[in-house]
């Protein structure tokens, strides 16, 4: 496998897998029965708190695209961590992250959700001033702070690294480098011009359901027929969908177009990404970056869904679009249709989410059996327990690791 993305051998192998998937009449020999996913993993308050305190703080999480932080001083406050995190483009071009917590008495250092800071960020409570690299530069009324070492009072950093132009943060100082974390998936997308993709659109909204309900929906093609009869199911063949499980909880499903000559009418006239292959053109390769990002890559751009737990019963969903650089100015008006088409699919995807929250909190919900073609969901749960530390998970809520030998 080339380190530069999809090569001919991999493309051939993936196509063969789709053909095999279409032709199969049972699940493959040797594939284990998947134990039911315990109901408590969706509804138990203590388990939700455990996940927040461990999984979500130990894992690299997508925070922003570089287009949101275009120049020195550009910042945003990212709110999906354990606390508000300031992400700021420094004078040296580096993007850094810090807890947005003043080192004096803990006020927020910046109070707008995003903006462009001057040379210093001045806390609005007593005026301590930090530079764009997080160092404490000045304390008001210095006669009262004689002898205090400013070097020890800079903003507390949070790990912040980039995969192409995507900025990720991680609250665990001991986590592996981002590059190692995403490598099992990144090896298949490096042929695409990731470094020059632009952020075309971003919206975020809340959904009144547990984040797992949303996330799991995007990990399988089994729902295409009933939830997407006029959209996804008309375009893609769910029964030909092959499933690929990778290390670190990442995965992909590859759904073939139903018709070889199909072209998304919403993309006509849009430029394709350089080096895109027949995998992006004739299939829908829907990648999942653990724990919460979905990228169903198309030749003309990458829509992205990111799902965030807020409370045990509420989630935020971010819908993003990345596409080849159009050279400045307004985006092509064709994007309005493209974005609306995808939004329609997302609306179909979440139509059952809120009603499901009620039916999951029911004595009738006894856990989740999963089929062979839903195995990405089981793989995702296995990784959740690995990140938490399986011995920390109450025995009745554990996911027995049975898919390890199927991880590629």
Point out which residues bind Fe ion (CB under 5 A): 349
* CB closer to ligand FES out of 138 and 175: 138
Sign of CA dihedral 352, 353, 354, 356: positive
Residues written for the chain: 408
* CB closer to Fe ion out of 232 and 277: 232
* CB closer to ligand FES out of 107 and 334: 107
State how far the Cα of 299 lies from the Cα of 166, in Å rounded to an integer.
Answer: 19
Asked if 373 contacts 222 with a C-beta cutoff of 8 angstroms, the reply is yes
- 259 touches ligand FES (CB under 6 A): no
**Binding partner of residue 349 among ligand FES, Fe ion, none, CB under 5 to 8 Å per kind?**
Fe ion
**Binding partner of residue 159 among ligand FES, Fe ion, none, CB under 5 to 8 Å per kind?**
none
Q: Helix, strand, coil: what percent of the chain each, to 5?
A: 35, 25, 40
Question: Can you name the residues that pair with 116 across neighbouring β-strands?
Answer: 74
* CB closer to Fe ion out of 59 and 238: 238
Quick check: helix, strand or coil at residue 150?
helix
* CB closer to Fe ion out of 183 and 345: 345
Distance in Å, CB of 205 to ligand FES, minimum: 32
Distance in Å, CB of 148 to ligand FES, minimum: 13
Q: Which of 20, 24, 105, 234 forms a contact with ligand FES (CB under 6 A)?
A: 105
State how far the Cα of 69 lies from the Cα of 266, in Å rounded to an integer.
Answer: 29
Q: Which of 22, 126, 234, 259 forms a contact with ligand FES (CB under 6 A)?
A: 126
* CB closer to Fe ion out of 248 and 284: 284
Among 68-76, 100-108, 203-211, 302-310, the segment contacting ligand FES (CB under 6 A): 100-108
State how far the Cα of 305 lies from the Cα of 92, in Å rounded to an integer.
Answer: 31
Strands (E), 21-156: 61-65, 74-78, 85-89, 95-99, 114-116, 120-122, 129-131, 136-138
* CB closer to Fe ion out of 349 and 382: 349
**Binding partner of residue 389 among ligand FES, Fe ion, none, CB under 5 to 8 Å per kind?**
none
Distance in Å, CB of 109 to ligand FES, minimum: 7
Q: Which of 31, 83, 111, 125 forms a contact with ligand FES (CB under 6 A)?
A: 125
Side-by-side strand order, sheet with 293-296: 198-207, 314-323, 302-311, 293-296, 283-289, 251-256, 242-245
* CB closer to ligand FES out of 132 and 228: 132
**Binding partner of residue 102 among ligand FES, Fe ion, none, CB under 5 to 8 Å per kind?**
ligand FES
* Cis check: omega of the bond before 291, within 30 degrees of 0: yes
* CB closer to ligand FES out of 127 and 177: 127
Among 12-20, 76-84, 103-111, 328-336, the segment contacting ligand FES (CB under 6 A): 103-111
- 107 touches ligand FES (CB under 6 A): yes
- 123 touches ligand FES (CB under 6 A): yes
- 295 touches ligand FES (CB under 6 A): no
Distance in Å, CB of 113 to ligand FES, minimum: 19
137 phi and psi angles, rounded to 5 deg: -105, -35
Question: Can you name the residues that pair with 202 across neighbouring β-strands?
Answer: 320
Any residues with CB less than 8 A from the CB of 211 and at least 6 apart, and which? Answer: 292, 307, 308, 309, 310, 315
* CB closer to ligand FES out of 105 and 259: 105
Any residues with CB less than 8 A from the CB of 181 and at least 6 apart, and which? Answer: 59, 60, 175, 248
Binding footprint of ligand FES, residue count (CB under 6 A): 9
By CB under 6 A, what part of segment 268-287 binds ligand FES?
Answer: none
Distance in Å, CB of 121 to ligand FES, minimum: 10
Asked if 168 contacts 158 with a C-beta cutoff of 8 angstroms, the reply is no
Q: Which of 17, 58, 104, 331 forms a contact with ligand FES (CB under 6 A)?
A: 104
Strands (E), 268-382: 283-289, 293-296, 302-311, 314-323
Distance in Å, CB of 348 to Fe ion, minimum: 6
Question: Can you name the residues that pair with 99 across neighbouring β-strands?
Answer: 85
- 102 touches ligand FES (CB under 6 A): yes
User: What burial letters (b/e) apply to 303-336, b meaning 16+ CB within 10 Å?
Assistant: bbbbbbbeebbbbbbbbbbbbbeeeeeeeeeebe
Binding site for ligand FES (CB under 6 A): 102, 104-105, 107, 123, 125-128
């Amino acid at each position: 496998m080339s380190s530069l993305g999809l090569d001919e051998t991999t493309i051939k192998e993936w196509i063969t897998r789709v053909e095999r998937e279409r032709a199969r009449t049972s699940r493959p020999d040797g594939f284990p029965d998947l134990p039911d996913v315990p109901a408590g993993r969706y509804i138990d308050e203590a388990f939700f708190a455990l996940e927040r305190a461990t999984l979500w703080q130990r894992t690299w999480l997508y925070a922003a695209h570089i287009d949101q932080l275009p120049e020195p001083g550009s910042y945003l406050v990212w709110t999906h961590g354990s606390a508000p995190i300031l992400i700021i483009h420094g004078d040296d071009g580096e993007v850094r992250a810090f807890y947005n917590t003043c080192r004096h008495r803990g006020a927020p250092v910046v109070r707008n959700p995003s903006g462009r800071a001057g040379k210093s960020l001045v806390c609005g409570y007593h005026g301590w001033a930090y530079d764009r690299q997080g160092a404490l530069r000045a304390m008001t009324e210095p006669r009262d702070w004689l002898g205090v070492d400013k070097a020890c009072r800079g903003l507390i950093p949070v790990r912040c690294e980039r995969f192409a132009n995507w900025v990720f943060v991680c609250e665990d100082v001991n986590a592996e480098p981002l590059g190692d974390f995403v490598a099992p998936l990144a090896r298949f997308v490096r042929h695409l011009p990731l470094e020059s993709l632009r952020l075309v659109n971003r919206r975020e909204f809340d959904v009144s359901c547990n984040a797992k309900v949303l996330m799991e929906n995007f990990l399988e093609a089994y729902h295409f027929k009933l939830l997407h009869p006029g959209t996804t199911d008309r375009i893609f063949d769910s029964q030909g969908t092959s499933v690929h499980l990778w290390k670190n909880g990442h995965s992909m499903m590859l759904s073939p177009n139903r018709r070889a000559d199909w072209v998304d009418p919403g993309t006509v006239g849009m430029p394709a990404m350089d080096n895109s292959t027949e995998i992006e053109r004739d299939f829908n390769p829907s990648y999942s970056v653990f724990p919460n990002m979905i990228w169903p890559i198309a030749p003309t751009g990458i829509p992205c869904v990111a799902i965030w737990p807020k409370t045990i019963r509420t989630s935020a969903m971010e819908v993003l679009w990345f596409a080849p650089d159009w050279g400045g100015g307004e985006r092509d008006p064709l994007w309005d249709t493209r974005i609306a088409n995808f939004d329609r699919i997302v609306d179909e995807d979440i139509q059952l989410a809120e009603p499901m929250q009620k039916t999951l909190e029911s004595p009738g919900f006894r856990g989740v059996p999963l089929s062979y073609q839903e195995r990405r969901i089981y793989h995702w749960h296995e990784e959740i327990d690995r990140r938490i530390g399986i011995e920390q998970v109450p025995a009745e809520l554990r996911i027995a690791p049975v898919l390890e030998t199927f991880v590629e």
